[in-house]
Amino acid sequence: MAEFISTFATGFQNIIKKNLPELIKGVKILNIFDGLIHYQYNGNSRELEKVLYFNNTFFVIKTLKTQNNNENDCFTMLINDFYKDKKYFLISKGTFRVRFSNENQFVKIDKKVIQKIEENVIKNSKMKVDRVSPSTEIWFSKRREGFCFCGQLIFKREFTEKNLNKGELRPEIAYLICSFSDIHPNENILEPFCGYGSIPIQLVKKFHFNHLFACDIDEHKVSLLKEKKQLQNKDSVNVFCEDALTLNNIPDKSIDKIITDPPWGFYEEMGDILCFYDKMFESFERVLKSKESFVIILTARKTELEEIIQKHKYNIVEKIDTLVNGKKASVYKLKR
């Protein structure tokens, strides 16, 4: 059975371990680490491109586990194995280059070694070398856990921050947060800082709920979100302008889960962040149905949030530490 390796946002390995076999039928997970999953799959590899949270996906040529943390030992073993037998490449035409990565950082390798690998790839395929803008890449990679692999890059997600509005949440992070939220079909969901709609769009596209309330204080963002085709003609979705610190248009005790990415204060003026969070939780407490209701919140202001969590007597049920646009952040699942 063909083996693949895919990378994803740090921190979400437990979510992906559960989600991937449900999403792609026939997947068998072999190894999973922080930010990387190794699995078998005999279906059409193009199906893997549809997995929103995968960044890079590789067709596996060789994997190994080293007992020590010596980068050179790992690369030497992978290279020696690469020369042994005729190699099969999933993409056998086009152009390629060779890359070496140690703990997610590209490293320089002797040019003669690179040239010998290139000659071997050319001999076993119809590919040509292009060290600037190739159609595929052959990677030799080592992780800090001692897991090493040689693989052919078959898919790279080109979506970057340049495709987003300032402060807009990446769609794959929004999807993973929604998966983390464990949504049920009978639940009323509130996103009180919906912004450009990353979380509401993923909720509507991929999840089942009873009703979704998506609001924001910014009229322009709300207007743009209402125009999104994913949210049009949906009786179970309300998009409207509202101040999350009051939520005047949300009835008391009507919400099962709040899933949100409130402002971090990096791109907008917020005043005192502690005061902001304090008022926010006062507003949340009024609209949540009961002490069995959950708040799922993403923030980079962890110290301030945890101070207010303690004040309002919420318990941290679960927490995921991750990176969002290069900034350290955490997703909290809270319950009173």
Do 150 and 88 form a contact (C-beta atoms < 8 A)? no
State in Å, rounded, how far the first CA of the chain is from the last one.
47
CA separation for the pair 40, 52 (Å, rounded): 18
CA separation for the pair 282, 314 (Å, rounded): 12
**What's the confidence (pLDDT) of residue 161?**
65
Using DSSP's 3-state secondary structure scheme, residue 208 falls into: coil
Q: What's 14-46 look like in SS3?
A: HHHHHHHHHHCCCCEEEEEECCEEEEECCCCHH
HSE, CB side, 13 Å, CA atoms: give it for residue 88.
Answer: 5
- pLDDT tens for the chain, residues 1 to 336: 999 999 999 999 999 999 999 999 999 999 999 999 999 999 999 999 999 999 999 999 999 988 766 667 899 999 999 998 889 999 999 999 999 999 989 999 999 999 999 999 999 999 999 999 999 999 999 998 899 999 999 999 876 666 788 889 999 999 999 999 999 999 999 999 999 999 999 999 999 999 999 999 999 999 999 999 888 888 999 999 999 999 999 999 999 999 999 999 876 777 899 999 999 999 999 999 988 899 999 999 999 999 999 999 999 999 999 999 889 999 999 998
**What's the confidence (pLDDT) of residue 164?**
84
**What's the confidence (pLDDT) of residue 270?**
78
How large is the greatest C-alpha to C-alpha distance in the chain, in angstroms? 70
Beta bridge mates, 299:
330
**What's the confidence (pLDDT) of residue 72?**
75
Other beta carbons within 10 angstroms of residue 261's beta carbon come to 24
